[in-house]
Amino acid sequence: MRFFIRDDAAAASAHVANYMVDRINHFAPTPAHPFVLGLPTGSTPLGVYKALVERYKAGEVSFENVVTFNMDEYIGIPRDHPESYHSFMWKHFFSHVNIHPSNVHILDGNAPNLEAECVQYEAKIQAAGGIDLFLAGMGEDGHIAFNEPGSSLASRTRVKTLAYGTILANSRFFNDDLDKVPKMALTVGVQTVLEAREVVVVALGARKALALQRCVEQGVNHMWTLSALHLHPHSMIVCDEDATLELQVKTVKYFKDIEQVARAQGFEQILPSKFPIRPATLPTTIVTDEFPAPTIHSPQPTTSRLLRATPATEYPLRSRSPSPDLIPRHLRVTPDTEYTQDTEYSVISRSPTPDFMPDRMASRIGEPGLLRRSTPNPAQGLQQHQRSRSPLQNLTPRTNIMT
């Protein structure tokens, strides 16, 4: 999980908006291959939408080939009710950008068959090729979308009864009249969010501090549904200083430090993919129980292995996870770079974390005879030893995968 702390809400929102704009632009969406965006509502993402609209008006991003899926919608209030999420999205985002209405998907809270609506929604997400980036906010109780505490972490799009606290909190938008507040909603599930290729969460203000602490410092917990994000290979949380109130100083410092170090290394984790990811050229996703080699090639989408109920890879992934982005540029192997022995800088074909290197006491003695004698398969042992020492030999097959 990547975790960014910004000084205030505006800076945090701007960070997220920049990230999204970079993502969309480097994806270079086309009508045949649109960028699929998951979108939230509520007060938290307002700043992000505002920043996105500004970027659009400045001509820095186009939503022409962007497909959107919204997280949730109330049941039983008219679609054009000022508090409906249709109205919210129209007012704060859709009316200001060039997104085409046919590319906009919001759950219909007035559908005759709500269950069918949910099933269709999941089908639509799959038909669109899955969500490339899911933007999310976080509830005070750590909920993501309307997945209130106690929701299954394997949940999918469904009808959800709202918690009393949420109804109470929402009543401020309905003249403080509890009777007018919708009691039910349609929402995507935790699993639906986790299946996105990337999840970006915004948490702003002191009111979110406790939930943020639970979700960042503690483990996966169904009572703080956003904590399921730990199971996602490529998630990101952006918050302001106020939201860090409950975090340990150590945690805050840790994340600030690695951001600083990463930046110093030219590795800001906003490295956009150089290659537009296209379905045709994609290799099949590798999901096996055994890791192929002691060297970790790149992070693989293994989310579903921890949530067996519904594998994350039900639909074909178009990307082998966002791996190209995670490797610093100067460490990345690109097809247009020919590495020879003359290459000045050292090329490391593995992730920055140290490799597992098989080590035996016998190898330290410096007596080859001893090593050979006590090793069941001395040839293999030596070969392995060599391979980990000379990474260049491994370059060729990996380069092929990347192209």
Where do contacts with other proteins occur on this chain (CB under 8 A)? Answer: 29-34, 36, 64-67, 79-80, 86-87, 90-91, 94-95, 98-104, 127-129
| Tokens 């989408």 sit on residue | 301
Residue 76: C-alpha distances to residues 112, 122, 146, 259 (Å):
11, 21, 16, 45
Nearer Cβ to other proteins, position 125 or 162?
A: 125
- What is the C-alpha end-to-end distance of the chain, expressed in Å? 26
Return the DSSP state at 164: H
Q: Which is nearer to other proteins, 67 or 201 (CB)?
A: 67
Q: Is 140 a catalytic residue?
A: no
With a CB cutoff of 8 Å and minimum separation 6, the contacts of 237 are 1, 2, 3, 4, 200, 201, 202, 203, 212, 215, 216, 229
Annotation marks residue 148 as catalytic: yes
Rounded distance between C-alpha atoms, residue 298 and residue 324, angstroms: 8
Q: Which of 73, 117, 132, 141 is catalytic?
A: 141
C-alpha torsion angle, residues 55, 256, 264, 343 (rounded to 10):
-100
> Of 84 and 235, which has the nearer Cβ to other proteins?
84
Nearer to other proteins, 30 or 334 (CB): 30
List the structure tokens of 125. Answer: 């997400």
Task: Out of 73, 148, 195, 198, pick the active-site residue.
Answer: 148
Closer CB to other proteins, residue 101 or residue 112? 101
CB of 120 to other proteins, least distance (A): 16
CB of 204 to other proteins, least distance (A): 24
Smallest distance, other proteins to C-beta of residue 173, A: 17
Q: How far is the CB of 123 from other proteins (least distance, A)?
A: 12
235 three-state secondary structure: strand
What is the C-alpha radius of gyration for the chain, rounded to an integer number of angstroms? 24
Active site (annotated) includes residue 83: no
Query: What are the distances in angstroms from CA 228 to CA 218, 232, 305, 308?
Result: 11, 7, 13, 14
Q: What size, in residues, is the chain?
A: 403
Active-site annotation holder among 143, 232, 234, 297: 143
Half-sphere exposure of residue 142, counting CA atoms within 13 Å on the CB side? Answer: 25
Minimum Å gap between C-beta 67 and other proteins is 6
Least distance between other proteins and beta carbon 31 (Å): 5
Smallest distance from the beta carbon of 358 to other proteins, in angstroms?
A: 45
CB nearer other proteins, residue 33 or residue 387: 33
Write out the two tokens for 144.
């993501």
Question: Which of 30, 403 has the CB closer to other proteins?
Answer: 30
143 labelled catalytic: yes
Q: Name the burial class of residue 37, with classes exposed (0-12), middle (13-18) and buried (19+) by CB atoms within 10 angstroms of its CB.
A: buried
Sequence-distant (6+) residues with CB within 8 A of 160 are 72, 146, 147, 148, 151, 184, 185, 186, 187
Catalytic residues: 72, 141, 143, 148
